[in-house]
Amino acid sequence: MNQLKAKHTDIVKREAARLGFDFCGISVAGFLEEEAKQLEQWLNSNHHGKMAYMANHFDKRLDPTKLVPGAKSVISLMINYYPSNQQLHNDAPKISKYAYGNDYHEVIKEKLKQLIETLRNEIGGIEGRAFVDSAPVLDKAWAKKSGMGWMGKNTNIINKKNGSFFFIAELITDLDLVPDSPVKDYCGTCNRCIDACPTDALIAPYQIDASKCISYLTIELKEQIPDNFKGKMEGWAFGCDICQDVCPWNRFSKPHHHQALMPNEQLLSFSKDEWFELTEVVFKSVFSKSAVKRTGFKGLTRNLSFIQPNSTS
């Protein structure tokens, strides 16, 4: 049986690499006891802001066997999205690097679908469900548990060799696999991410008040951005990379080679004036395949108006 587990584990990791996943780690599917306390405290402190969905399906978030009956393993996967090119104009509104290319949900879903099909062909009739930000799964907790990195003080998973610019996905399956072990935390005494956060969203090491996070304010929040954040957004119109950009471990970030995630050069070349004069026609053209479409034209123009110099709205 142990030989079979090892063989199946090798197949999973080999096929994940072949399909372009940069890291693959495995955990035993079971209740996340430590994370249950943390999640409950986080929700009780209203650090989820208006993301009411974070309070839904509490048990399912913490126990993968409630999402996939009979689940034995959680296969965690990471794909690098660090770009080779950055936005050309330093004074232009900024968007998170993860949104430079095509919407990662679609790209990764397709890879996960191929992975499940390949495993079924190689191993047999297995049950499994794939997740990319699409269901109540604590992806960072599983990535940490499977040894793909440690949870940084900025609450992102950091990999010692490649930093933190990664998308995380999971495949929860009834396959019995050999689990990996968590890795050591290498943040040490560094607090650069906490010190650099302009809205004080990182309220303590490893703790985030999402309701103050620029990513939350520009993407998740559907209402008007509160006035107390005026002058604190540092030019971010969609998402924010500050806590990752200042992290010393990201000096090891290497540009990705995933064709479907390559930056949209038109987007990167937008000048300050082009951003602030954005029309709905241009929005639909440039962002039709981007994660930026998630906030919609109205949401993006709300963000641009909020960060525009001398704006009173």
8 Å CB contact between 230 and 306: yes
8 Å CB contact between 161 and 249: no
The contacts of residue 170 (CB under 8 Å, 6+ apart) are 74, 75, 76, 77, 130, 131, 137, 139, 142
8 Å CB contact between 260 and 81: no
H or E segment to which residue 207 belongs: strand 207-208
8 Å CB contact between 79 and 169: yes
Q: Which residues pair with 79 in a beta bridge?
A: 167
8 Å CB contact between 81 and 167: yes
Tokens of 282: 């241009």
8 Å CB contact between 78 and 21: yes
8 Å CB contact between 19 and 107: no
Tokens of 99: 């949104």
Name the catalytic one among 10, 91, 133, 195: 133
Q: Nearest-CA neighbor of 108 among 172, 170, 174? A: 170
8 Å CB contact between 128 and 175: yes
* Catalytic residue check, 133: yes
Q: Which residues are known catalytic residues? A: 133
